[in-house]
Every structure is written in C-alpha cells, then in structure tokens.
Amino acid sequence: MAKTKILFVTHEMSPFLELSKISEITRQLPQAMQERGYEIRILMPRFGNINERRNRLHEVIRLSGMNIVVDDNDNPLIIKVASIPAARMQVYFLDNEEYFQRKQVFADEKGKFFEDNNERTVFFCKGALETVKKLGWAPDVVHCHGWMSALIPAYIKTAYKDDPTFKDTKVIYSLYNEDIDFSFDEGFSEMARTGDMTAEDVIHYSDGTYAAMYKGALAYSDGVVLAEEIADKELLNIVKKHDIPVFELEDHQEFENYYNLYEQFSSVELETEVEA
C-alpha cells in the first residue's frame, strides 16, 4: 500500500525561523508523522533573516525557474532546500529577491506592516502549489499553518480542483494565537484570484483583514485544528460559522491524535472526530 502523503505549508519553522508556537509544531509534527510511516514535504518562505550558510540552504535547479504572476507581473521563483539531519527531513524554501530579501519578516524595523505583504502572500501560496506540481507529488492531505498560507485552501478547492496533483486532496487548517493585526487594501481579493477563479470564489477574503484571511481559509478547508487555546473571540466565531469538523489538539506532544486525524482525512470519508 502506498504511503499517505502530507504536505505542510507554513511561514515559520524551527530552527530556521521562530516567531510563534507555529515554529515549534511545524518542526516536531512532520518528524513525528514521518516516523509513523507517512511521506511528507514541507514548504515555507525563505525570509531574508534565515541564514543560508548556517542552515546550508542550496538551490534546487530542477524546481527553480518558474514565474509566478502577481498583480499581472511575472515574479521569478527560486526553490532552495535544507536538511535537518537529526530528523532526516528536507525543507523546501520559496525565494524571490524582491519579496523575501529583507532582514525583517512581516514589518519593518519600526514595526510598520510591509505594504507588499499582500503580494508576498499571493506569491507564496501560488508558488507553493506550483512547486508541488513540479515535484510531481500529489498530497493526500495539505496541512496549513499561519495566516500567510490562508489562500491555499481556496486555490486547491477552486483553481486547482481538477488538477491531477490536488483533485483528491483534503485540506486541514490550524488556528493559532498569532500576535498580528493588519488590513490589506480593498483590491486584495481581486489580486488573489488565479486561473478561472471568480469574484465569488474569493469573496470571503474581500475586506483583506486578518480575520478575513481565516474566513477564507476555513470556507475551503475540510477541517480545522485549534492548535492552542484561542483567545480571539472573533476567530472562534468564525470557526463556529463553518460546518466543518473541529479538532482541539492543543497538546501537540500527543502526536497520536494528529496521526488519527490524518488517517481519517486521507480516507474517502471522514466519519468521526478526534478528541484531544
């Protein structure tokens, strides 16, 4: 029997970038699942404060060279890879000189949110799916972590729904207490469209706020994981409004619960829920 394939998409991961609890979970969870026999891939942006020499990143020539269209502009995508020897895992990094070659991650040294974070988000989400296609690797489950991956569920369920790589893919979205607040301009949802997506397909993202990113992500996800106790009542209300299974897996050390979760989502029908 073929191994279940799980794609992890995140904007941070230890030891490369540590901003929040996301980095800890995305470091430990993929390894735990790989040790249980799953085939995994991990994708994240190559932010400028990730030291290439120390982390031994190198370009993957066969994957690089694509152009990702953002707001009618072609943007070259460079793919780099690094290994975590102790875990026998590889992490793929999406790089672009204009979007990621800066020392700060989401805000400048004065704490101002980068004006092009909307473009960076679209580039990362489009680029992630195109990279997986080029790998020729069809994931059974895509597990998204962090607001920067919030367009991926919509892309998989609309623009890529008939693509052989993603046509049978289930999407899980993890919610965290991310200490960030922003609002993209009103043109974000239009910019986010790709392929044959319509305005209706991105309507949940239309006001461009932090909450709207989650509204959109959950509207297209097959399940949501509460990876920690969510303090934001607005986020909890968003979860309640979507008729999808909710899994409270706050103790991420108990990886058996994640294993059971993936087993259910990688099967044809989701029949029961996992309890923390």
pLDDT in tens, 180-195: 888 998 889 999 999 9
Query: Does 146 map to a domain?
Result: yes
CATH number at residue 138: 3.40.50.2000
Kindly indicate the confidence band of residue 274, based on its pLDDT and cuts at 50, 70 and 90: very low
Residue 273 lies in a domain: no
Band (pLDDT 50/70/90 cuts) for residue 266 is confident
- The string of pLDDT tens digits covering residues 32-52 is 999 999 999 999 999 999 999
Please say whether the beta carbons of 68 and 75 come within 8 A: yes
Instruction: Determine, yes or no, domain membership for 142.
Output: yes
pLDDT over 60 (residue 271): no
Distances (CA, A) of 245 to 77, 241, 257: 35, 11, 14
Residue 76 within a domain: yes
Flag whether 46 is in a domain. Answer: yes
240 located within any domain = yes
Tally the domains of the chain: 1
- pLDDT tens, 119-163? 999 999 999 999 999 999 999 999 999 999 999 999 999 999 999
Residue-level length of the chain: 276
Residue 14 structural domain: 5-265
CA 198 → CA 17, 110, 119, 188, 202, distances in Å? 35, 37, 19, 13, 7
Q: What b/e readout covers 92-105, taking b as 16+ CB neighbours within 10 angstroms?
A: bbbbbeebbeeeeb
